[in-house]
């Protein structure tokens, strides 16, 4: 016989699977197709946030770009 506990546990597993599928299928952050760095620089690290992404170069600079336009917003020198 199927008990109430069995029905509740099956329902819980189905809800958990549904939540995992819907959360994991959300589109995550998108990577830019290409990044144009200043001449002679090469990327050492990359990170991104809402509306921006940043590249750390081998010239000890952090270059912050606009995520929509790809335009350079700010350059930060690492001392």
Task: Summarize pLDDT for 14-42 with one digit per residue, the tens.
Answer: 999 999 888 876 666 677 888 888 888 89
Q: What is the mean pLDDT of residues 42-50?
A: 92
Q: Once rounded to an integer, what is the mean pLDDT over residues 57-67?
A: 93
| CA gap 14, 20 in Å, rounded | 10
pLDDT at 41: 87
CA distance 7 to 13: 10
* Model pTM above 0.85: no
pLDDT attached to residue 1: 66
User: Based on C-alpha coordinates, what's the Rg of the chain?
Assistant: 23
Judged against a pLDDT cut of 70, whether residue 63 lies above it is answered with: yes
* CA dihedral sign, ordered 52, 45, 43, 79: positive
Query: Which structural domains are found in the chain, ordered by start?
Result: 4-77 (2.40.10)
By the 8 A CB rule, do 29 and 48 touch? Answer: yes
């Amino acid at each position: 016989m199927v008990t109430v506990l069995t029905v509740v546990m099956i329902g819980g597993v189905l809800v958990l699977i549904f939540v995992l599928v819907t959360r994991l299928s959300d589109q995550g952050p998108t990577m830019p197709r290409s990044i144009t760095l200043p001449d002679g620089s090469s990327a050492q690290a990359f990170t991104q946030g809402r509306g921006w992404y940043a590249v750390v170069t081998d010239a000890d600079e952090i270059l912050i770009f606009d995520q929509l336009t790809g335009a350079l917003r700010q350059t930060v020198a690492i001392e």
